[in-house]
Structure 1
Amino acid sequence: MMKFKAAVLATALLSGVPTFAAELLTNGGFEAGNLSGWSRTGPHSGGCNSNYTVGTTGSTSGCTGFGPYNSFTNPTEGSYAAYNSLDGSAGSTYAISQTVLLPNAIGDATISWSDAAGGGAGWNWAQPRTFSVDLFNGAALIGNVYNATFTNNGGAGFFQNWTVRSIDVMSLLSGFGGQSVTLRFSNFIPQTSTGPASFAIDNVSFDATAVPEPAMLGLFGLGVAGLAGLRRRKRA
């Protein structure tokens, strides 16, 4: 414990201003076995028209068994991941979101996750499906964090195994300290029933580094001074 305190003190003295990192999301890895902490919006009729659902295997997507991706893919880490299909009714948006409270003063903010996707052979998509990660303040869009499209032109099928993404969102969130923001993952389906396909996400993290406010810094300074005085007395 004393070594830990000494390390914290040394870091603070070298940096001048201490910071504290915190994970803002609940159930970001879906290890609760469900969507606890998340809100789901959009259609969900099952099969190849399935919204995000948590499960232990790729078959959870409800739209599997078609080459080249066959039974799709299992969770990248832990026992669970969130899956949905990339087929369904034209104009549909499958989405999950979670609202978090940002620190009053933000030093850094990063959103990371893993995603995977697959589409069956023998089907041709004239219009690409879209995967988006966005931040909202209430109903107002703060900005787009990430955007990707999936196509199956020529009907050859495709498979993108788990890929790790990490995006610095500090520039988007400057000015939103102390406010609630919503992180949303969504898939847009532009055409009706053009072929089996699935999508998955796992290991979602929304990490923010908080910078203490002036009052807290004052208390921290008193604590540092007290520790320094204690060490001088012990040496004497």
Structure 2
Amino acid sequence: GNGGGYFAVNFSPRVFNGNIQYSTGGGASTTIDFDCSNLGENIIEVTVTDASGNVSTCMATVNVNDVTAPIIMCYGESSSDQLINNGSFESGDFTGWTVVDFTTPFVPYFVGPISNGAGFFSDALPTDGGFLAGNGFDGAGPDESVLYQDVSIPTGVISATLSWDENIDYDLDSFCIGCSDRIYEVQIRDTDDNVLEVIQQVVALANVIDSDNVWNSLSVDLIAYAGQNIRIAFWQSIPDAFSGPAKFALDNVSLNVASDYPPITIELDENGEATIDPLDLIASTNEACGIDVSAADITDFTCADIGTIIDVTVFVSDASGNIAACVAQVMVVDLLAPVLTCPADQTQDPGPGNLFWEVPDFFTNGEATATDNCTDPVVITTQDPAAGTLLSDGVYTVTITAEDEYGNVSTCDFELTIESILGAQDNELNNAIAIYPNPANDQFTISNSSNIVLDNAMIYDINGKLVSQINLQNMQSEKVVNIANFASGVYMVYITGEQSSVVKRLIKE
């Protein structure tokens, strides 16, 4: 079965006229346990011994079959399950439960239509169906009783709620002389019977009568025990011997768990493809003997699958051929940014007579490239400084970006150096021309220590905009330039002569 994966075969002794004629002997077990490792045909040696010690053996063939199909849940599915077996005792007995009663109970544990403590109290009627469980909560104490059931709360559940109805009446006054309190608890235990938590307690007080015949409906959250095997125990303790009648009734015990698995996300690779193992689409499995074969109607995904939830049917089979299926919801995503190639570090010369170098579109001229697994071509690109920006001499970091249609961004940068290459006459003029003071406030002076005749001085702001032009043709050795109306910042002063030019950097405070 799914729960334990084993069962027992009982070899009963032959009986004639009430006397055992032979039985399994020699200290061997009278039961044989089989589990999933024994699937198929098994040869068992059976030995019997009579009262005179005569021994006989034979070989038995036992075929072990798993007839229970796997239970699977796929990603994207939701479910609600009831884990308590026979919680309303509608089988008419304790099927699914284990009872450890008092050694000498006043009213033994029973399943029936009413509970009234042997007639001392009003009838407690079932709250769900036609049966309930009950006892007399009294006996030859000190003693304990417990009614319990073992359950396994699956991993991944989003809720696990235990609920039950209980009805307790008692008379510890009429017949009680110097008696003690009795205790009833609902306990969560491990399967080794260690108490992990007490979730409900009722103390039947000495010298008190409680006969209201009231059903209490209780519930508690057990999500903390997800992924664990636990024992739900209804425990009673009586410290004295027959110190007063009582009535206990239990009904409608349930442990509801809910699972809600989100769709599974699959990431595409650098080729825009993805392949998934069908088992990876299964969120939870309940199969004692294990999954032997798995398959899915879709296992390969591409860029065309992005943007919609895809239903994938998953099939599994155990080693005995029992089949189960579920439908997984798959979300395909592209999380890979474009592959971006940056231009190499470079040095550019504005050229003769030019103060600035105009930045090109590095994608248009082919120096920068971007490729992507799902977006072709990549059209969302930027560069900083932008194409068309005028740069004067200096060293700049150019940042390039590329973005695909799913928002994945790549970035790279390179170093761009703008350096004007001066000719011989330019060098001579560069050495002869000076501007001062620098930084300047309201004015600065252009000084020419050479015999080179100057033509003009053009002043540009840092963005390459011409803000002033001064005629220098009648200049002697110096020329004062008024910049009182200039905004604070950095300016480029482009001075031209007959056959040469020079650029000077000016700071306006």
Q: TM-score range by the shorter chain?
A: 0.7 to 0.9
Higher mean Cα deviation, 114-123 or 32-41? Answer: 114-123
Paired position in structure 2 for 1:181:
230
- Aligned residue for 2:96? 37
Q: Does 1:85 align with 2:136?
A: yes
Pairing partner for 1:22 from 81, 88, 92: 81
In structure 2, the partner of 1:202 is: 251
CA–CA distance in structure 2, aligned partners of residues 185 and 98 of structure 1: 9
Does the C-alpha gap of structure 1 residues 99 and 108 become closer, same or farther in structure 2, counting only changes over 3 Å? Answer: same
Larger mean CA deviation between 27-36 and 91-100 belongs to 91-100
C-alpha separation between the residues in 2 aligned to 1:45 and 1:167? 32
Q: Secondary structure at 1:159's aligned position in 2?
A: coil
- Structure 1 segment 16-165 matched on structure 2, within 5 A: 19-43=78-102, 45=104, 48-50=106-108, 52-59=109-116, 63-66=117-120, 69=121, 71-120=122-171, 122-124=174-176, 126-139=179-192, 140-154=194-208, 156-165=209-218
Provide the TM-score with structure 2 as the length reference. Answer: 0.36
Which residue of structure 2 aligns with residue 169 of structure 1? 222
Q: What's the Cα RMSD here?
A: 2.7
| CA positional deviation for 1:158 | 2.9
Query: Residues 162 and 222 of structure 2 are in contact (CA less than 8 Å); yes or no, is this contact kept in structure 1?
Result: yes
Deviation at 1:18, TM superposition (A): 5.1
| Contact 1:112/1:204, CA 8 A, preserved across alignment | yes
Displacement of 1:131: 1.2
Paired residue type of 2:168 = A
Counterpart CA distance in 1 for 2:115 and 2:87 is 18
| Residue deviations 1:117-149 (CA, integer Å, cap 9, x gap) | 112462337422111111222213332221121
Deviation at 1:169, TM superposition (A): 2.0
* SS in structure 2 of the partner of residue 153 of structure 1: coil
**Deviations 1:99-128 (Å, cap 9, x if unpaired)?**
112112121111100011112462337422
2: CA distance between counterparts of 1:89 and 1:58? Answer: 20
State the 1:42 CA deviation. Answer: 2.9
Task: Describe the SS at the equivalent of 1:206.
Answer: strand
Structure possessing the higher relative contact order (Cα contacts under 8 Å, 6 or more residues apart): 1
Give, as a single letter, the amino acid of the residue that structure 1 aligns with 2:240.
Q
Structure 2 Cα separation of the partners of residues 195 and 96 of structure 1: 21
Structure 2: any 5+ residue segments left out of the alignment? 1-74, 265-280, 284-295, 297-308, 312-328, 332-509
Label 1:128 to 1:53 Cα distance change in 2 as closer, same or farther (>3 A): same
Query: SS where residue 310 of structure 2 aligns?
Result: helix
**How many residues were matched structurally?**
196
- Is the alpha carbon distance of 1:136 and 1:17 closer, same or farther for their aligned partners in structure 2, counting shifts above 3 Å? farther
The code of the aligned residue for 1:153 comes to: N
- Relative to the length of structure 1, the TM-score reads 0.73
Cα distance change of structure 1 residues 188 and 200 upon mapping to structure 2, 3 Å threshold: same
Aligned position for 1:230: none
Q: Percent identity?
A: 24
Alpha-carbon separation, structure 2, partners of 1:110 and 1:53: 26
- Local SS of the residue matching 1:203: strand
Output the CA distance in 2 between the equivalents of 1:157 and 1:209. 38
Q: C-alpha displacement at 1:181, in angstroms?
A: 1.5
Q: Give CA-to-partner distance per residue, 1:18-69, whole Å, 9 cap, x none.
A: 54221101100001100000011132545x152x21011225xxx3223xx2
- Amino acid across the alignment from 1:195: G
| 1:170-221, Cα deviation, whole Å (9 max, x unpaired) | 23x1xx41x322111111111111011111100000112234496336x9x5
3-state DSSP class of the match of 1:58? Answer: coil
Alpha-carbon separation, structure 2, partners of 1:212 and 1:225: 12
Question: Contact 1:114/1:162 (CA < 8 Å) preserved in 2?
Answer: yes
Distance between the aligned counterparts of 2:199 and 2:76, measured in 1?
28
Paired with 2:202 and 2:77, the residues of 1 have a C-alpha distance of: 37
Amino acid of the structure 1 residue aligned with 2:131 = Y
Question: Please, which moves more after superposition, 200-209 or 137-146?
Answer: 137-146
